[in-house]
Structure 1
């Protein structure tokens, strides 16, 4: 089947008008805050699916659409980002579900290079958690506006005013609630919509939360009679919000100074419909993307796109490699021949697809904000630019500073070709960074990771996808610094240090046992280049 990315047929569409219909956003949070569940609920309310799943399927309920890897379904966590395209209310929503675990934060960072807005989930009981704080920093660094969704209000949690105060005090974002819960966390009755004249909607569960929650509009008089004291308390809190001026301001939101806040519960689908409407109404559409020299490329300029993710073997029946491309400008048409900016070579787009979790279908046309998957894109890497017409190079997506290192070796010498191909694939996808040296040789590459769970993913995929099981020998380094060819001979010979080359870009990295040893080396060799790498969206501590 072949479709256009807006679900319609067009003769000579206005690219700028199509861009205004797009909303491209990521769902981000600390682990177990409910990202994948919210993703399912949004797809359900947009009628993209008919029944929501759960991370751990029960009975005949399947796993979540966005968690498509076997390992994700087995462990109940998101390991890699997933793309879902949803048509809703004359808009095209490009939703990117991201891993929440800190060990996979580099994948989340790459996704944030391809979105115009982010939904940040907070657990009503836990509030701002360490990974949540890091992700807010990344959004701020990339100027990505944030909509906050306080999740799990159907379970015991904290006071809503306390959560708002924490957001403002700890991350400096002014919270502007768009709705307000009636009933404390764990006794969720319904929601007052501040953006619609304080209208009240009472929520009713559906069996297992597999279908849309039933919504019952009530007048204030009926709500007072039905809800009693909790209604009066909610009205008092609303009055306080009005007095302190906690009202939505578009300029402040887009500037990253405030965050619209909504309350709800993704599992029973409470408050999800309003979140969906808020995305359409408030999330910014695609705008001119700045190239690496800071020059904006308008959305109606000739086609350009940024590769923000690589993924292989999504479908066991199709052992292919897909490049996920955010369309930055222009109209994409399947079959067009683009220019690969880093090599200057032509790149044909005969096989282009729209992705919905692990499902995919051929896509003929796409516009700014859309995410397209280019099949068998073996020459592309994360951070590459593709363009048509005037040349453009978008800023590269930097790699994080790894903190965990292990030497990989094939357990079966007879499977060395598969071992090498698998390691190359892990490197191309950014599952880990692969480091090599003449001393260690190609048969013993060093895998560098932000967190140890990345090594589990590599071992699992090497065995299951490439039939090349590996053993990992962890090595005692936990600091990495960028160096150069002039400094490498001096640094490589020092005790507690080693210089390796990163396969993806050829950069030289110095690995050091710890920060104390690094300080000694910096003191003894001030002339040597030892530059910090990116860590969590900001530079690593020197």
Structure 2
């Protein structure tokens, strides 16, 4: 059951409805089990009957949030999907993030739309490079993080060592909410820190929501003996060194609640859901570009954090995902796009659950609404009703590290080529750069990671019916050109040129960092500025 079907009133207590919302993302390194956890959360909320309800990834049942053909074939998430469902009286907005490092920009946008995050760690691997990058974005945005140590039913590392790693590598004190009884690979259950009892490990098939089997302390010690005593000793040691749970430290993003489990078996997932409902922050007032606070009960406003086409192959429509920031959204209302100052009709508004959709009539702060046929909307647009106008800060682009000239493989498909490139740029699949030197027929695609080119090429061929040829360029350094009048200084270089992004930003590309230094030495007046790096 989705939020649109469980709303208590349509236009009444906005603050009350906002308090019912929990909007969070799941972040992890590839293969940590993020998509499995995403679907297990939905199973425990009784939104779907069982994990694997939707066909997908190679080698196992697919997950509800992975819908693109390339995702299913490779077994990774390379786009983000929004899942919305009710858990008790709480409305959950779960935004699944890309599971590959090459799609950091998409993850950054998703994290701009959530109020907290679940950081998923593999019990055997701990903090991996992509996890670190994603956490850096959370830290930059001040997003509170809950840590879920997954795959404890398989061999892995020591629990205390994993908690020490959180403190040493990312500066977050570990505050256990549950603690494992038995080493990784020999899980007997978890100690519920708040209640002091044992939640016995009872693996369920495919992550199904099996009932919790709780055992009091005396019985747990009698059954498990030394394993229970050791778990208690480890927990006491960690709590004595500052690991006691403190909600204020969590919301200040200086400490992280830690839970242990096995998402593929559904173990630990209910406790995670309950924790998010109990302590994760709900929607809060946002600041606009003028640094003014927009109250939750102000007239409707939202910002677009993702645009995606091809979610419904039968219709090839375009969906803009908008996070509601204030007021009440009502389907059919006409809103203003702050970027263009033009009206936009919201006749086709939906809640997106993977590939499944249902019409949404009403939404409140914290909700994510899918606006269909939204060809006029771009990532970073602000939507609002009534006066005064409002505009929220835009979403910056990362500094690209890979560049390739794109040309249509079939010149008779030039129209489809132009349309496809424009669409991919609007969605942020790749950054699209143009220059007078190369002309409009040969745009340069720029990416944070090379897999973005694979996705772009795949979609150009299968979605826009215009296969492309990519000619990779050897640029390794990029800067923002502050003064367009200085463009000739860069274009005259032997291994440099200036290209203009679709948002109007002039990017100066260089073969190596040394080329940047040499040009600035020759022209001290040249102003070149760094771009946003991953996680910064």
Q: Please say whether Structure 1 and Structure 2 have the same fold, judged by a TM-score greater than 0.5.
A: yes
Match of 1:279 among 254, 276, 288: 276
Equivalent position SS for 2:136: helix
Q: Is the 8 A contact 1:201 1:215 kept in 2?
A: yes
For residues 93 and 227 of structure 1, the distance between their equivalents in structure 2, rounded to whole angstroms, comes to: 36
For residues 482 and 5 of structure 1, the distance between their equivalents in structure 2, rounded to whole angstroms, comes to: 44
Equivalent position SS for 2:212: strand
| Change beyond 3 A, Cα 1:9–1:238 | closer
State the partner residue of 2:121.
122
Q: Is the 8 A contact 2:288 2:393 kept in 1?
A: yes
For residues 159 and 85 of structure 2, the distance between their equivalents in structure 1, rounded to whole angstroms, comes to: 31
Q: Is the 8 A contact 1:6 1:366 kept in 2?
A: no
2:261 is aligned with 1:260: no
Deviation at 1:32, TM superposition (A): 1.1
Q: Is the 8 A contact 1:55 1:77 kept in 2?
A: no
Q: How many residues align?
A: 532
- Give me the CA root mean square deviation: 1.5
Deviation at 1:522, TM superposition (A): 2.3
Q: For 1:50-449, list aligned pairs within 5 A.
A: 50-53=49-52, 56=57, 62-195=61-194, 197-207=195-205, 209-389=206-386, 390-449=388-447
Deviation at 1:375, TM superposition (A): 1.0
Q: Where in structure 1 are there 5+ consecutive unaligned residues?
A: none
Deviation at 1:215, TM superposition (A): 2.7
For residues 84 and 376 of structure 1, the distance between their equivalents in structure 2, rounded to whole angstroms, comes to: 19
Q: For 1:448-459, list aligned pairs within 5 A.
A: 448-459=446-457
For residues 269 and 288 of structure 1, the distance between their equivalents in structure 2, rounded to whole angstroms, comes to: 35
For residues 509 and 73 of structure 1, the distance between their equivalents in structure 2, rounded to whole angstroms, comes to: 35
> 1:292-346 CA distances to partner (integer Å, 9 max, x unpaired)?
1221101110000010000001011111111100000000001111111011111
Match of 1:460 among 435, 458, 461: 458
| Change beyond 3 A, Cα 1:104–1:12 | closer
Equivalent position SS for 1:308: strand
For residues 271 and 528 of structure 1, the distance between their equivalents in structure 2, rounded to whole angstroms, comes to: 56
For residues 215 and 232 of structure 1, the distance between their equivalents in structure 2, rounded to whole angstroms, comes to: 21
For residues 73 and 2 of structure 2, the distance between their equivalents in structure 1, rounded to whole angstroms, comes to: 33
Single out whichever of 64-73 and 211-220 deviates more from structure 2. Answer: 211-220
Taking structure 2 as the reference length, the TM-score comes to 0.97
Q: Where in structure 2 are there 5+ consecutive unaligned residues?
A: none
2:40 is aligned with 1:41: yes
Deviation at 1:519, TM superposition (A): 1.9
Q: Is the 8 A contact 2:487 2:498 kept in 1?
A: yes
For residues 230 and 236 of structure 1, the distance between their equivalents in structure 2, rounded to whole angstroms, comes to: 10
Deviation at 1:122, TM superposition (A): 1.0
Deviation at 1:63, TM superposition (A): 0.6
Q: Is the 8 A contact 2:58 2:74 kept in 1?
A: no
State the partner residue of 1:511.
509
Deviation at 1:392, TM superposition (A): 0.7
Q: Is the 8 A contact 1:44 1:52 kept in 2?
A: yes
State the partner residue of 2:521.
523
Q: Which runs of 4+ in 1 moved over 6 A?
A: none
State the partner residue of 2:478.
480
Equivalent position SS for 2:243: coil
> 1:348-387 CA distances to partner (integer Å, 9 max, x unpaired)?
1111111001111111100000000111111111011001
> 1:268-293 CA distances to partner (integer Å, 9 max, x unpaired)?
11100100000101110001001112
> 1:371-410 CA distances to partner (integer Å, 9 max, x unpaired)?
0011111111101100112211100000000000001111
For residues 438 and 239 of structure 2, the distance between their equivalents in structure 1, rounded to whole angstroms, comes to: 65
Equivalent position SS for 1:307: strand
> 1:34-73 CA distances to partner (integer Å, 9 max, x unpaired)?
1111001100001111111286365xx6310010111100
Q: Is the 8 A contact 2:190 2:199 kept in 1?
A: yes
For residues 58 and 275 of structure 2, the distance between their equivalents in structure 1, rounded to whole angstroms, comes to: 29
